[in-house]
Chain A
Amino acid sequence: MPLLLPILLALACAPLAYVAGRWRPGAAAWMGALGALAALGALVYEWTQETTRLVFPWAPSWGLSLEFTRDGLSGLYASMALTIGALVVLYSRAYMPHHLAEEQRPPGDEVRFQGLILAFMAAMVLLVTVDDLLLLFVALDLTTIISYLLIGFDREDPESRAAALLSLVLTGATSVVFFAGAMTLGLQYGTFSLPLVFERAAQSPASTGALVCLAVGALGKSAQVPFHFWLPRAMAAPTPVSSYLHSAAMVAAGVFLLQRLYPLFAPATDVRHGLLVIGFVSMGMGSLMALVADPFKRVLAYSTIAQYGYALVLVALGSEGAPLYVAAHAPCKAALFLTAGAVTQVTGKKKLSEVGGLRHALPVLAGASAIAAAGLSALPLTVGFFKDEVFFHALAKEGPAFMAAGVVGAGLTLAYTLRLWWGLFGGPRPSAPAAPAAPPLLVAPVVVLAASILLGGVLPGLLVTPARAAAETMRGEPSTLELAYHLDARAENLLAVGAWGLGALLFATRNAWTPALSRVLNAASHVGAERGYRLLLLQLDRLSTWLHEKEVRDLRDRVASVLVPTGLLGLTVLGVTPLRDRFTVGTVGPADVTLVMALAFASAAALATLRAKGHLRLVLLISCVGFSLAMVFAFAAAPDVALTSVLVETIFTLLFAGLLALLPRERLKLAQDEAQNPRGRDRLAGAVAGASAFLLSWSALSHLHVDRVGAQTVRLAKAAHSPNVVAAVLTDFRGLDTVGEMTVVVAALLGVTSLLSLNLSRKGKKQ
């Protein structure tokens, strides 16, 4: 069981934090952070243990089981999710009260927010730990649902709600595609267990269709072109959400999936080439948009799209640096998001054009975020340097075109990171009164992240073991990944220097090209995936409105629209089912004459109801149908049914007559006069439904099984000490059914009495 300990601890965080929050709202965050650290401790402890896999049988006959693993990928991603989760929860302790006050919501909602963040963390830990295709999908959808609640946390804000819906629709729809891929693989290999799937895939490669489906799910999560547009919109969420979901968790999940399933993608070069193209396009598009975006959270969002484009390129090239890239990027991006949130809280501004010179007011934050920015743009002495090193290393193997693309991408990264940091903290001291100092808890997480970025940059040896373990899990072969500074003219170093030069040049000349670039990008934004999505939504909305208008115009059509298609469906089923001797006419002997006569009487009464004038006549005809059927039951030697039928029919007739007495006479007459104009299509609907019922029951009655349960029941009834077999069935063999039946009767009676008494009380008021 040691394998489950981190998951269980992570799952316990949210409820524990909630309980602590009930005691004192401020305690929730600390409790949650403590739980996350405990889970992290359990994760480290787990690595000292022998167990690496845990399998619980779930539905063994279908080959389904719950499988968990402890390997390099799960360790790396789970520790990332837990560490950043703990920091973000603490940060939200300082951030949320202010935010909630601005939104005019009760301060107690802070606990709800932190509970959701912690629940998301647990879902993320679950996602990276499971070793089963179905569980992967379940965990993936859990993250989608919680992210919907988190992005739409400001529920009064329509923009936030729309952003949450967009991300739900997009990531949810793509994860359904992922599910389709997982099912295809499951059917192809006869198992959902990943190690078995990989083993069997080594013999017969997975089908391209399944791989494309899996990749679509991953691309949607990681906000890659053409599913990228949900991410910038999701910036409407409170900043802690963005800094967690959109740096280390939700968007990381997509690339994680590709790394987890890499053994399937390894032989499929076509699919990997497609991913490569998407990675480069996302890189370029995200970087360019980040260069011109004005709200600083949007700059970071576009940067995330671009950075996960890098990670996608690494996965597509099969580079062993792919897990390291994601892990090195996460703290840098999280720290920058947290910085953005702190700046917004202190100054109340959200756009780069509105702030500047904040290094005087917020020196600590400026320093820490400078380190994070350096990490993002891969400057030496930060962990970010190594993410670009592995990137260039992978590209250098592929040829000059790839190297050039890498240099441009990295140069753009440096340029927009510089623009962001300089826009926030650089420039002249603002003339407005100095902004108040940020609360320590708002800055501390950024400082911790910056310290870890520096630590990883100065002592890269610490990173080698986890990065190698993750790479081994991904590629299924021992990794020789090296992380060290080399002061020579190797390709990686030259490319890095080239990128820095390009980035610095771009930043220095930014005033020259920014207006032109933003004009071009503005024009480009009118075509593209987001516009297609909007059009689709608009058309669907129209269709739904049109259908609704059609449907509500007349209640009768609403009923017919259920009955007629069902009838047609029944007829179609009969038409396509190949059944020999589908219909048997049956024999009519002298003993059946009475039965047939009673049936004929019932039919005649039923037909007569259609022409019945006056309600009393109608009621009498209906009870006539019921009594004739009771007669049928009696002739069919079913005395219990016949007796019950007679009783029920008598009471029902009385009840109906009572109702008629309650209804005002003139109203009844009016209704009667107006009702006598059946429409042609009602006749048609009745005919279709009746024909379908007739043919279906004919077919069913023609295929009665020879061995009847009834015969056995008759024998068994003796053991139940009941001379009446039907009573034995009702009270003993199918006792549970009878309980259910009584529940229905009691519920209906309660409904009747409450409806009638409601009526009386209102009448009393009127008088």
Chain B
Amino acid sequence: MILIASLVVGLLFAVGVRMVLERELVRVACGTVLITNSSVLLILAGSFPERGEALNVHDGGPVTDPVLQSLALTAIVIGFAVSALLLTLVHRTQRAHGSLRTDRLVEAELKRVHAVEKEEGH
């Protein structure tokens, strides 16, 4: 069970990184969402070996670690807030630069840097 859970954590992380390294901003945002998911899974996976029984709670029975549950909850909520901000940023970037591609953004940045350097030179 441990091996399977950590395999899935690694897989989600790898796919997330692979998407973050793509050129298009929407997919970059999706990549970060996957990375968030993998970390939430890792937190809760700590409770897998000694977890309670789903939908069958009775007094004195085993309970899934509540501390890990609350940590996972916090992580989910924060992850959501940050992803929402990221999506809005994607939207803004598209408006400002008219492009969703990171290489275009780099070009724009370099152009601006050169323009500033030219101004300073004169």
**Are A and B part of the same complex?**
yes
Chain B minimum-CB-distance residue to A752: B88
Count B interface residues, CB 8 Å.
85
Chain B minimum-CB-distance residue to A762: B95
Query: By the criterion CB–CB under 8 Å, are B21 and A651 in contact?
Result: no
Q: A586-B1, A668-B100 are in contact. Are A686 and B15 (CB under 8 A)?
A: yes
Q: A637-B54, A672-B24 are in contact. Are A652 and B84 (CB under 8 A)?
A: yes
Give Cα A343 to B64, complex, Å. Answer: 83
A586 cross-chain contacts in B, Cβ below 8 A: 1-4, 49
Q: A585-B2, A599-B5, A690-B11 are in contact. Are A555 and B64 (CB under 8 A)?
A: no
Check if B110 is an interface residue, CB within 8 A of chain A: yes
A543 cross-chain contacts in B, Cβ below 8 A: none
Query: By the criterion CB–CB under 8 Å, are B17 and A710 in contact?
Result: no
A652 cross-chain contacts in B, Cβ below 8 A: 33, 80, 83-84
Question: A713's contact among B18, B22, B66, by CB below 8 Å, is which?
Answer: B66
Check if A721 is an interface residue, CB within 8 A of chain B: no
Question: Chain A contact residues: over half helix, strand or loop, or mixed?
Answer: helix
Check if A464 is an interface residue, CB within 8 A of chain B: no
Check if A30 is an interface residue, CB within 8 A of chain B: no
Scan residues 31-88 of chain B and give those whose CB is less than 8 A from a CB of chain A: 33-34, 37-38, 40-42, 44-55, 57, 63-70, 72-74, 76-78, 80-85, 87-88
Question: A729's contact among B37, B49, B67, B109, by CB below 8 Å, is which?
Answer: B67
Question: B72's contact among A638, A697, A713, by CB below 8 Å, is which?
Answer: A638
Count A interface residues, CB 8 Å.
105
Give Cα A645 to B41, complex, Å. Answer: 11
Q: A651-B80, A694-B9, A701-B6 are in contact. Are A636 and B23 (CB under 8 A)?
A: no
Check if A595 is an interface residue, CB within 8 A of chain B: yes
Question: A751's contact among B18, B53, B80, B85, by CB below 8 Å, is which?
Answer: B85
Q: A644-B76, A741-B77 are in contact. Are A553 and B106 (CB under 8 A)?
A: yes
Minimum CB–CB distance for A601 against chain B, Å? 10
Query: By the criterion CB–CB under 8 Å, are A685 and B21 in contact?
Result: yes
Chain A minimum-CB-distance residue to B1: A586
Query: By the criterion CB–CB under 8 Å, are A687 and B70 in contact?
Result: no
Check if A756 is an interface residue, CB within 8 A of chain B: yes
Q: A635-B54, A667-B94 are in contact. Are A708 and B10 (CB under 8 A)?
A: no
Chain B minimum-CB-distance residue to A587: B1
Query: By the criterion CB–CB under 8 Å, are B17 and A686 in contact?
Result: yes
Check if B115 is an interface residue, CB within 8 A of chain A: no
Give Cα A586 to B51, complex, Å. Answer: 14
Question: A689's contact among B5, B13, B106, by CB below 8 Å, is which?
Answer: B13
Give Cα A651 to B76, complex, Å. Answer: 13
Scan residues 549-599 of chain A and give those whose CB is less than 8 A from a CB of chain B: 552-556, 559-560, 563, 583-588, 591-592, 594-596, 599
Query: By the criterion CB–CB under 8 Å, are A637 and B51 in contact?
Result: yes
Check if A176 is an interface residue, CB within 8 A of chain B: no
Question: B106's contact among A554, A560, A674, A734, by CB below 8 Å, is which?
Answer: A554
Give Cα A758 to B93, complex, Å. Answer: 12
Minimum CB–CB distance for A704 against chain B, Å? 6
Check if A354 is an interface residue, CB within 8 A of chain B: no
A725 cross-chain contacts in B, Cβ below 8 A: 63, 66
Minimum CB–CB distance for B56 against chain A, Å? 8
Task: Pick from A227-235, A243-251, A318-326, A626-634 the stretch touching chain B.
Answer: A626-634
Scan residues 273-314 of chain A and give those whose CB is less than 8 A from a CB of chain B: none
B19 cross-chain contacts in A, Cβ below 8 A: 609-610
A678 cross-chain contacts in B, Cβ below 8 A: 18, 21-22
Check if A157 is an interface residue, CB within 8 A of chain B: no
Query: By the criterion CB–CB under 8 Å, are A701 and B45 in contact?
Result: yes
Among A603, A629, A694, A697, chain B packs the most CB atoms within 10 A around the CB of A697
Query: By the criterion CB–CB under 8 Å, are A618 and B6 in contact?
Result: no
Q: A637-B51, A641-B72, A725-B63 are in contact. Are A686 and B100 (CB under 8 A)?
A: no
Question: A606's contact among B12, B22, B68, by CB below 8 Å, is which?
Answer: B12
Give Cα A606 to B35, complex, Å. Answer: 11
B24 cross-chain contacts in A, Cβ below 8 A: 671-672, 674-675
Check if A359 is an interface residue, CB within 8 A of chain B: no
Query: By the criterion CB–CB under 8 Å, are B20 and A690 in contact?
Result: no
Question: B70's contact among A560, A685, A729, A759, by CB below 8 Å, is which?
Answer: A729
Give Cα A261 to B44, complex, Å. Answer: 56
In the complex, 22 of the A-B residue pairs with CB atoms within 8 angstroms, ordered by the A residue number, are A552-B110, A554-B102, A556-B21, A563-B17, A602-B8, A609-B15, A636-B51, A638-B64, A645-B76, A652-B84, A663-B94, A686-B21, A694-B11, A694-B14, A698-B10, A708-B50, A710-B66, A741-B78, A744-B82, A748-B84, A752-B84, A758-B92
10 more A-B residue pairs beyond the given contacts A594-B54, A700-B42, A708-B50, with a C-beta to C-beta distance below 8 A: A555-B106, A563-B20, A640-B73, A655-B87, A656-B87, A672-B24, A674-B24, A691-B10, A698-B2, A710-B68
Q: List the interface of chain B (C-beta within 8 A of A).
A: 1-15, 17-27, 30, 33-34, 37-38, 40-42, 44-55, 57, 63-70, 72-74, 76-78, 80-85, 87-92, 94-95, 98-103, 105-106, 109-110
